[in-house]
Amino acid sequence: MNRIPSRISLITQTINILREDLKSCAEFLPSERFWADQLKVSRPTLRAALAALRREGLIRVIPGQGSRVVPQQRPIMPRSSSKVVGFLSATATHLLPTSERFFIGELRRHMQQAGYELQVFADGRLRWRRPQLILKNLVRQRSVCCWLLRMQRLPVQRWFADQQMPSIVVGSCYENIHLPSIDTDHRAVTRHAAGLLLGMGHQRITLLMRQWGLAGDLESEQGFREAFQTSAHSGAIPSVIYHNQTLEHIRNRLNSIFYSKNRPTAMIVSHSQDALTALTWLMHMGFHVPKDVAMISRSDDEFLSSTIPQLARYVSNWDDFARKLFHLVIRLISAGELTTQKVRMMPRCFKGETLAKNLRGTVATRVDVSKHHPIWKESRRVPPGEDGEPIRRQTRWDEPGRFRFP
């Protein structure tokens, strides 16, 4: 007997489309009006499709919030017989900060004691917008039981998440990337640093950070702005300036902010190398640290202990960091999955000698040090204005010089 062909109903087609779109949706689904306009279907048809998805357990209705996407449990990874753990980095090992090289050494020691070998794979092409082919060839050629993704960008994290490969992000994950990760709590660190400076009376604080937009940097900016939103200092002005890691660009960005009308009295720097550049630039231009500009670094490195003045910074325990990552790797290899998706560590705040209270009413005088006479000066001290800040009247300058503070 011949079977009678049947048409696929409009509701079934809508269910199939929505089921595929759920994989790329955020936590909550868009409104019914959005889906009806996108799919060109009526509201009753759309509601019937959503009801079917609810019965399948793919979405859940939360009163007052809408339809929430139910995260699907990842399948357990098949165990690999390999004893190699891959450390994937876009930066060569000899170019990494000293603290990170120490961390890799400690991690390798823990792995060797457990019978595993840590291999570092460094490839600058991982910064490309489409590194999928590079990753595919690398994974095919190497027999690795677990991958460690050091500060990788969104395309790399998304590729490993889509391939469901056993991997841990050594850094922070981007939004909607469900991979286990371990990192410094950059959001809490920057929020604490901004709160520390606000408590010292600083009203104009600048965050100097790199423009590449790594997940940890995005969290730092979020924490920085949160500190001002919850602060009792209503007149505080936050500012964020980005640079491309070159000395010339950092110099230009610092010039633009420190020779502006609202010159900052405090600065937070995201990376230790950039903090050293900013500190030497301030001293070269004649700013006294911390009398004129208070400064603190979000990260630490060995060379910062040799600066004069001692730079305030957040010091991480890299031995503890390596030990916790080692335990995560062993659990992932043994069980095939991790119940703990996010591990965040809070570093110790070392206040150093570059933090000081904001001294209001101090006005700078720019002088030529070699000839010992002023070539540019601001006006004498005047009573504060209505906003509590000294009113400045200044003339232009002609050439670089230094500042002297009475």
Q: What is the 3-state secondary structure (H, E, C) of 175-186?
A: CCCCCCEEEECH
CB 99 within 8 A of CB 318: yes
pLDDT band at 370 (very low <50, low <70, confident <90, very high): very low
CB 267 within 8 A of CB 208: yes
159 and 95 within one domain: yes
180 and 243 within one domain: no
In a domain, 33, yes or no: yes
Q: What is the pLDDT of residue 368?
A: 39
Summarised one tens digit per residue, pLDDT across range 279-309 is 999 999 999 999 999 999 999 999 999 999 9
Give the span between the Cα atoms of 209 and 216, in whole angstroms: 11
Q: What is the pLDDT of residue 113?
A: 94
If 0-12 CB within 10 Å is exposed, 13-18 middle and 19+ buried, where does residue 88 land? Answer: buried
Question: Out of 96-100, 251-255, 275-279, 385-389, which region has the weakest mean confidence (pLDDT)?
Answer: 385-389
Q: What percent of the chain is modeled with pLDDT above 70?
A: 82
In a domain, 75, yes or no: no
265 and 212 within one domain: yes
Indicate whether 193 pLDDT > 90. yes
pLDDT band at 8 (very low <50, low <70, confident <90, very high): low
3-state SS track over 343-406: EEECCEEECCCCCCCCCCCCCCEEEECCCCEEEEEECCCCCECCCCCECCCECCCCCCCEEECC
In a domain, 293, yes or no: yes
Q: Which residue among 315, 338, 369 closes a domain?
A: 315
In a domain, 352, yes or no: no
Q: Is 0.85 surpassed by the pTM of this model?
A: no
Question: Out of 6-10, 49-53, 323-327, 370-374, which region has the weakest mean confidence (pLDDT)?
Answer: 370-374
What is the domain-level CATH number for residue 103?
Answer: 3.40.50.2300
Give the span between the Cα atoms of 181 and 351, in whole angstroms: 28
100 and 65 within one domain: no
In a domain, 356, yes or no: no
328 and 269 within one domain: no
324 and 178 within one domain: yes
Tokens for 54, please give them.
Answer: 């609810």
324 and 181 within one domain: yes
Give the span between the Cα atoms of 120 and 264, in whole angstroms: 41
Summarised one tens digit per residue, pLDDT across range 219-251 is 999 999 999 988 887 788 899 999 998 999 999
Q: What is the mean pLDDT of residues 61-70?
A: 74
Summarised one tens digit per residue, pLDDT across range 309-341 is 999 999 999 999 999 999 999 999 988 777 668
In a domain, 124, yes or no: yes
123 and 226 within one domain: no
Torsions phi, psi for 315 (to 5 deg): -105, 120
191 and 47 within one domain: no
Q: What is the pLDDT of residue 112?
A: 95
Q: What is the pLDDT of residue 359?
A: 74
Indicate whether 21 pLDDT > 80. no
Mean pLDDT of the residues in the chain: 82
Indicate whether 259 pLDDT > 80. yes
Give the span between the Cα atoms of 103 and 29, in whole angstroms: 41
Give the span between the Cα atoms of 148 and 88, in whole angstroms: 6
Indicate whether 144 pLDDT > 80. yes
39 and 116 within one domain: no
Question: Out of 3-7, 133-137, 375-379, which region has the weakest mean confidence (pLDDT)?
Answer: 375-379
Instruction: Print the domain residue range for 166.
Output: 84-185+320-347
Give the span between the Cα atoms of 35 and 40, in whole angstroms: 8
CB 171 within 8 A of CB 181: yes
Determine the straight-line distance between the first and last CA of the chain, rounded to whole angstroms.
104
Angle (deg, nearest 10), helices 132-141 and 154-163:
50
Q: How many domains does the chain have?
A: 4
pLDDT band at 75 (very low <50, low <70, confident <90, very high): very low
Give the span between the Cα atoms of 99 and 203, in whole angstroms: 33
224 and 287 within one domain: yes
Q: What is the mean pLDDT of residues 389-394?
A: 43
In a domain, 156, yes or no: yes
Indicate whether 62 pLDDT > 90. no
Q: What is the mean pLDDT of residues 20-38?
A: 76
205 and 309 within one domain: yes
pLDDT band at 361 (very low <50, low <70, confident <90, very high): very low
Summarised one tens digit per residue, pLDDT across range 103-140 is 999 999 999 999 999 999 999 999 888 899 999 999 99
Could you tell me where the beta strands, DSSP code E, fall in 81-138?
84-89, 117-122
Task: Give me the half-sphere count of Cα atoms (radius 13 Å) on the Cβ side of residue 150.
Answer: 22
Q: What is the pLDDT of residue 394?
A: 42
In a domain, 238, yes or no: yes
Q: What percent of the chain is modeled with pLDDT above 90?
A: 53
